[in-house]
Amino acid sequence: MRDKDRIRKHVRRNYGNIASKGSVEGCCSGGCSCNGELTDIRQTSVKIGYAEEDLVNVPAGSNMGLGCGNPIAIANLKEGEIVLDLGCGGGFDCFLANKKVGETGLVIGVDMTFDMISLARKNAEEDGYTNVEFRLGEIEHLPVADESIDVIISNCVINLSPEKEKVFQDAYRVLKPGGRLSISDVVATAELPEDIKMDLSLMTGCIAGAEYVEDIRKIMEEAGFNNIKLTPKDNGKEIVKSWVPDRNVEDYVTSYIIEASKQK
């Protein structure tokens, strides 16, 4: 089993490179170089579930074509709600959530990568967002007060964590009673071969760290969540195959929508 801190360091370095240099060994996108033209990013974003309107109503540079779905589409956000984005990257989903919660709401993005937080803050400042804030921190240890969040969203990030139990436990801690979780992520539907599990580039590529779907359900139940729904995306296998076309990863993992709530 790989050292957890080594995994975190590798993930932090690779996603930091996306933010600062536009290149990386592996990532959750259609082209893992993460330096394609704007049209490639747009195509990738539409493929995973975003509307064309979403792509033109956010700060330039916040959408890097990362992710495996559109958590905003399932979150049913309401005006005035407080939203937390786990692994916010350049702030793309945070800015979309801002449109839903309005001036009376608040969106908080958390990311463990300093360069991503710097990029997200720059994007927010340049476009005049006043109710979106970004905090440096690990999703296993959220820099957020107890029972302060209405909705948690996340896009293809929890699979990157070597301690998923802690992620869901802390997510439960920060949710208000009656709060909900709406995320997109990659999960395993079959036992991953050893050569995939031990490949660090496939770890940052959101493949090697995927947890078996029923184990995810058990982790969430043990954290306290109820009304748990795990739904495969219709084109989930197509999405992950586009990341690694020559390894048959779609036989083992796919993109899921994961929903749950905290009892009132």
Q: What is the CATH number of the domain that holds 104?
A: 3.40.50.150
- Phi first, then psi: give them for residue 82, nearest 5 degrees: -105, 120
> What pLDDT, on the 0 to 100 scale, is given for residue 21?
59
Q: Which helix (DSSP H) or strand (DSSP E) does residue 111 occupy?
A: strand 106-111
| Distance spanning both ends of the chain, measured CA to CA | 38
What is the spatial distance between Cα 8 and Cα 4, in angstroms, rounded to a whole number? 6
Say if residues 160 and 185 touch (Cβ distance below 8 Å).
no
The residue segments making up the domain with residue 177 are 4-261
Query: Rounded to the nearest 5°, which phi and psi values hold at 41?
Result: -65, -40
Per-residue pLDDT for the chain (264 aa), expressed as one digit of tens each?
457 777 777 677 777 667 665 544 455 554 444 333 334 788 889 989 999 999 888 998 898 878 899 999 999 999 999 999 999 999 999 999 999 999 999 999 999 999 999 999 999 999 999 999 999 999 999 999 999 999 999 999 999 999 999 999 999 999 999 999 999 999 999 999 999 888 877 877 788 889 999 999 999 999 999 999 999 999 999 999 988 888 899 999 999 999 999 998
Residues constituting the chain: 264
Domain count, the chain: 1
Q: What pLDDT, on the 0 to 100 scale, is given for residue 38?
A: 39
The predicted pLDDT at position 11 comes to 72
Instruction: Compute the distance between CA of residue 53 and CA of residue 34 in angstroms, rounded to an integer.
Output: 22
